Amino acid sequence: MTFLEKLQARVQTANSLLCVGLDPDAAKIPNGLSYLEFNKAIIDATAEFVCAYKPNSAFYEALGPSGIEQLKATCDYLHEHYPELPIILDFKRGDIGNTNDHYASFAFDYLGVDAITIQPYQGRQAVQPFLDHADKGIIVLCRTSNEGSGEFQDMVLDGTGQELFRYVAQNVAREWNSNQNCLLVVGATYPQEMADIRRLVGDDMWFLVPGIGAQGGEIEAVLKAGGRHQIINSGRAIIYASSGDDFAQAAAAEAQRNRDEINKYRS
């Protein structure tokens, strides 16, 4: 089963476009729990409401070997207990080809994730080792949700009249997607640009949408701009909904609220 097949099956079964970011922060985790213990509690509480989970590698790498072990153990826990749920590794990697071979091996062979985020800056030839994994989702940074994203992404390219983010979207859709395994990162904080990208790439390409919740993106605007082929991510607003002993129950309530609000606008 490919990533998109697994995702679409889960979207239908759970009636959800919500993805939960598993980005643990020792300063915010209650009761001195380890990252793994915290993740397990969040997963068990929220699984029925989500279409995917998205751990960000940086939070685990910061701990060194113990963090990588807990990232691996989190992925193993999902594989064992929730095999129907896709895992997206927020990785944002991109380098020359032989380096990308090793990044891909870490993500797909060691961790066993179903999809990763990558940056397109070095071009198709460099990212081909990712694209060659036809059964995996390759999610390309396009229009990111951060406030300063326009510094480069809004630059108009000579000879095209297009901003860089639009050129990236068009190239990924037309040139990179021969295995039908490409998606785009399109931030919730830029709904007008999202609508433009949707017109460029068509209705069928999936977006991974950060920026809901703590960054201020609005669910109604996202659904109107991007359509129904979206994985809408929320991290901090869900996993830190409470700092007390009821953190898992609070996360479940917030996940359900987000899932239901998304569904209100999906039609």
- DSSP E strand boundaries for the chain: 18-22, 52-55, 88-93, 115-118, 137-143, 182-186, 207-209, 230-234
Query: Tokens 């709904």 belong to which residue?
Result: 191
- Tokens representing 220 are 């109604």
In contact, 115 and 258? CB cutoff 8 Å = no
Torsion angles phi and psi, residue 121, rounded to 5: -60, -30
Half-sphere exposure of 32 (CA within 13 A, CB side): 0
92 is annotated as an active-site residue: yes
Single out the catalytic residue among 54, 92, 224, 264. 92
Query: Tokens 């990179």 belong to which residue?
Result: 176
In DSSP notation, 139-202 reads EEEEE-SSTTTHHHHTPBPTTT--BHHHHHHHHIIIII-TTS-EEEEE-TT-HHHHHHHHHHH-
In contact, 142 and 121? CB cutoff 8 Å = no
In contact, 30 and 239? CB cutoff 8 Å = no
What does the DSSP 8-state code read for residue 143?
A: E
Query: Tokens 């991109």 belong to which residue?
Result: 94
- Tokens representing 27 are 């300063």
Torsion angles phi and psi, residue 252, rounded to 5: -60, -45
Active site residues: 92
